Every structure is written in structure tokens, then in C-alpha cells.
Amino acid sequence: MFSKVFSGAVHGIESRVVTVEADISDGLPVFDLVGYLGSEVREARERVRISLKNSGYRLPAKRITINLSPADMRKEGTAFDLPIAVAVLVSLGFLTEDSLKDSLFIGELSLSGEIKKVNGVLPIVYMAYEQGFKRCFVPAANVREGAVVQGIEVYGAENLIQLAGFLNKKIPLEPCMIKKEELKQGKEPYEVDFSDILGQELAKRAIEIAACGMHNILLIGPPGSGKTMLARRIPTVLPELSFEESLEISKIYSVSGLLNNNQSLIRNRPFRSPHHTITATALTGGGRFPMPGEISLSHLGVLFLDEFPEFNRNTIEILRQPLEENEITITRLTGTYRYPANLMLCAAMNPCNCGYYPDRSKCRCSSSQVRHYLGKISRPLLDRIDISIEVPQTDYKELNKQGKNETSASIRERIKRGRNMQYARYRNENIQFNSELSSKMLTSFCRLGKEEERIMEEAYNRLNLSARAYHRILKVARTIADLEEEECIGIRHISEAICYRSMDKKYWEQL
């Protein structure tokens, strides 16, 4: 007897419908799986056979053939165990085809018949909703993750016996429901705040501008000056995630298996801080079974690279393309995978090995040592950093200064107003932030007056800027004007943006 069951496969962070077909006929007893399968899927024959036996279903001595379609797409992972088992049960007559109408199945089976947790449930359920399915059956451990998608019933099953009993209308099973109010809840509170930072007003200002326009920023300064403290507080000033943004980030974390059992959505903007020993694959994604890397896990949030020059040069050079295109493309023999990478890069570094250059009263590095250390960061990569700011040692008077420092909440309110101007300006464009402006868009949204043009020309020639650096100065100036809620870019906006761009020349001019 022939039967057909629907499941889903993750490709990148998107999903595709997979049709699981089962045929049981006379012939030599064999259990065949076909359809361009990975090793985990081929191993499903033993998991399914034994889990069915331990759930009370004995397979007859017949020829069982399972096909996973489309055959031109490689199937990986263990999420096909459950749909294969269900297809076999239908072919054997233990379940009816009508009970599977408009249903999609995902789950791994243990030998006891228990349905175990799998990765990628959220994007698969979302795909099922878009494709018009009415119900999704997922592992009980994944049910809240899948129930985030509204408009489709999501059932969490503990084991095969429970699922078969429900499909045969013998065991009650209720779909998981998450209230809309719960989905709209804001971000979770942070344990840190910008009011903890004493002094460093210039660095705070630079971070505020970077956060408003999602510009990449580089913090340069001696050890203990507060670079890491500043960076770790950037998420506290970023506006709350919208539901659409939260769902987009949660898809990435679902595919990566980073959603907790009690966590249905990512509430806070990501802040990823990988160690400088990270490999290129871990940073960009990929591997034998392609998965998102740290770049994609930072999507719509912050990627913080501390001790920037200590990273392998070949590793950080990979950042060039994602920082320009806001996505990363990984091509493998099994296909091409695209992961989103619209992030804010924050890098921190010492100016030399000992950390005190150019203060020669403390720095003992030779000129060649300084050149070698700074040379680990290439000019093309520096060109993609919009803002460079010096973070000096905090003065003793600042450490003992009385009075309250500005909180993250007040900074966040200014950033919200600046971002609202960007949202309104680009409502008919396919972008959200000033950092995403293309060179063509700059002529429309970053027009300069005669005096502003003169200042930019002088800076371009004196600082020996590249065309990319020139464009990034305009984008930063546009953000500074937005923070002041002004439509036109003025002289002070251009001048401040140039200052942030010229800071790196102080250190790299000798290279």
C-alpha cells in the first residue's frame, strides 16, 4: 500500500516542503530509503523500525520503500524519523490518510518511541503556514518554539503512541497556544547600563551615533580604559525588537539549536563576542552540515571583536563582503546557503603589543613592532569601519566625580527618534538604516551645500580618503543630523563625521 506524508527541511535559514512517500509490497523483507540522503537520514531505518516495534507496531516481512522528495535536494538531520514512521503506519493501515490531511510532521525518534527535540522547528512551521498547512506535529520540547507562528495549529507529541492515539481520535491532545500579548512583550532587562561608565564622553557620543545608524565602530585605547565595558553596553541603547525582527533572529537561533526549551522568541538584540582564536568557519558559518556562524548570529545586533589584531588575519578579512552586502553566501557541493548578516560591528584594540603607544613614557615597543601590530588590520578592512574613536585612560577626577551619569534609557530615546527619521525617509526603499545607503542613494539623501562640499573636498584630499571612506563619512554625517532631528546635513555634522574618520590616521599614517 502507498502513502504520503509531508515534512520540511531547512536550507540556510529558510525551509522547503519534503514529501515522504512509503510503499509496502510483497517481496524480500527489506527497508529501503532513497532520495539523496545524508548519513543521519539513512540511519533512520533502524531507529524507525525499532521505535515502531517498541510502540506496539510489528513490521511485516515485506518490502518497504521510503522516498524523500524532491530527490535533487540533500536531506540532512534526524527530523525525518517521525514522518517516515507515520508514513509506514498509514501504509500498514494503523492510521488513515484522512487523519493526516493538511498536516506536517517533524521529529527524531528514540528506540523507545519517544519523540525527541530537533533543530530548525521555527522556520519549518513558518514555511508550513505559508504553504497552507493547517497543523504541525513537532516534539513536545519544541512546541512553544513552533507555536510562535500564528494561524496554524502546533501540537507537541511526547511519543509515537500518543501521536497515533490522537490521530485515531482515541487520545486527546491540545495545540499549544501563545497569546499575542506574550509575543509582544518587550526585551528582557539588562544587568549593565551606560550610567556605570565614568567619563569617556567622546566614546559614548561615538557609540550613540554608531547605534543610531548601525555603523561599524572601532575603539582604540590602552588596557583598562573601558573599551570592553563600553561595547557590552551597546545593546542597552538599541531600540526594542519588533515582532518581525524577533522572528527573523529566532529563525537563525532555531536552526543553530540555540533556543532554550522555555524560550519561544529571542527578545533582546544579539550581542556576540567570540574569542580571538575563532576559526573562519565558525565566524562565517558553513561546515560539513552548513550552519550559521557568529556573523549571522549577530544579525540585527552587535558583533564585538575584542583584541581585534589578535584575530587571525585571514579570518577577519572574511568580514569585508558581509559588511558591504549585509548577507553571507556559502557555496558547498550540496548547494548554496545564504545567511543574513545585517549587523553592527564593534571592534576594540590596543594601539600596540604593550598597549600604550603613542605614550612613549609607558610604551616600550619599537617603531617596527608598532607597525607590525597595526599592520594586522588591513586598509580595506579599515575602510569598512565608519567610526574610529580613541578611548584614553580615565582621569582620576572623573573616577571620583559626584552626580549621576546619563543612563542607557535616555540615550536610547534619542536613538529611537533618530531611527524614526530613518524609517520614515526610507519607507519606499529596501533599507532601514543610514549605513545601508548605496552610492546612488547618497545623491538623494545626503545632499550637501556649497560650504559642506568645500569641507568634504578638503578632507578628502588632506586625509587621502578612498571613495568608500568618503561615502561612509556622508552616512555618518546623515546619522548625526538625524540625532539632532534635522533634515539637512550641516557643517557641524560633516566636521564631526570627519573627526571620527580621521582618528585611524593617527595610528596608521606611518604604515
Least confident of 68-82, 163-177, 331-345, 388-402: 388-402
The answer, yes or no, to whether residue 308 has pLDDT greater than 50, is: yes
The whole-number pLDDT of residue 361 equals 84
The DSSP letter of residue 159 is B
339 CB burial (10 A radius; 0-12, 13-18, 19+): buried
The answer, yes or no, to whether residue 29 has pLDDT greater than 90, is: no
Element (H, E) at 53: helix 44-54
Whole-angstrom Cα distance, residue 301 to residue 344? Answer: 6
122, 432, 490 from 423: Cα distances, Å: 28, 6, 21
Query: Which residues, 6+ apart, have CB-to-CB distance to 359 below 8 Å?
Result: 222
The answer, yes or no, to whether residue 125 has pLDDT greater than 90, is: yes
Cell of 391: 578611548
CB 346, CB 307: distance < 8 Å: no
CB 216, CB 344: distance < 8 Å: yes
Whole-angstrom Cα distance, residue 511 to residue 507? Answer: 9
The answer, yes or no, to whether residue 391 has pLDDT greater than 70, is: yes
Residue bearing cell 497543523 = 135
Split at pLDDT 50, 70, 90, the class of 403 is low
The answer, yes or no, to whether residue 285 has pLDDT greater than 70, is: yes
DSSP characters over 223-266: TTSSHHHHHHTGGGGSPPPPHHHHHHHHHHHHHTT---TT--S-
74 CB burial (10 A radius; 0-12, 13-18, 19+): middle
Cell of 281: 568557519
Domains of the chain, with CATH numbers?
Answer: 2-178 (3.30.230.10), 194-430 (3.40.50.300)
Whole-angstrom Cα distance, residue 348 to residue 353? Answer: 14
The whole-number pLDDT of residue 511 equals 46
2, 19, 103, 333 from 71: Cα distances, Å: 18, 10, 21, 15
The answer, yes or no, to whether residue 488 has pLDDT greater than 70, is: yes
Omega before 309 within 30 of 0, i.e. cis = no
Neighbours of 169 (CB within 10 A): 8
CA end-to-end distance (rounded Å), the chain: 74
The whole-number pLDDT of residue 243 equals 86
Mean pLDDT over residues 38-42, rounded?
89
The DSSP letter of residue 102 is T
Element (H, E) at 32: strand 30-34
220 φ, ψ (degrees, to nearest 5): -120, 130
Whole-angstrom Cα distance, residue 437 to residue 465? Answer: 19
The answer, yes or no, to whether residue 510 has pLDDT greater than 60, is: no
CB 76, CB 41: distance < 8 Å: yes
Mean pLDDT over residues 12-25, rounded?
92
Average pLDDT, the chain: 90
Mean pLDDT over residues 106-113, rounded?
95
Nearest to 64 by CA among 49, 54, 75, 50: 49
Element (H, E) at 328: strand 327-332
Residues 450-462 have pLDDT tens digits of 999 999 999 999 8
Mean pLDDT over residues 496-500, rounded?
92
The whole-number pLDDT of residue 181 equals 67
The DSSP letter of residue 420 is H
Nearest to 442 by CA among 421, 419, 427, 426: 426
Residues 311-325 have pLDDT tens digits of 999 999 999 999 988
The whole-number pLDDT of residue 313 equals 92
CB 139, CB 107: distance < 8 Å: yes
Mean pLDDT over residues 228-240, rounded?
94
Least confident of 27-41, 179-193, 351-365: 179-193
Omega before 70 within 30 of 0, i.e. cis = yes
- What are the E-state strand segments in 40-196? 63-69, 103-105, 108-109, 115-116, 135-139, 153-157
Strands 108-109, 103-105: pairing kind: unpaired
Split at pLDDT 50, 70, 90, the class of 86 is very high
Element (H, E) at 451: helix 450-462
CB 134, CB 152: distance < 8 Å: yes
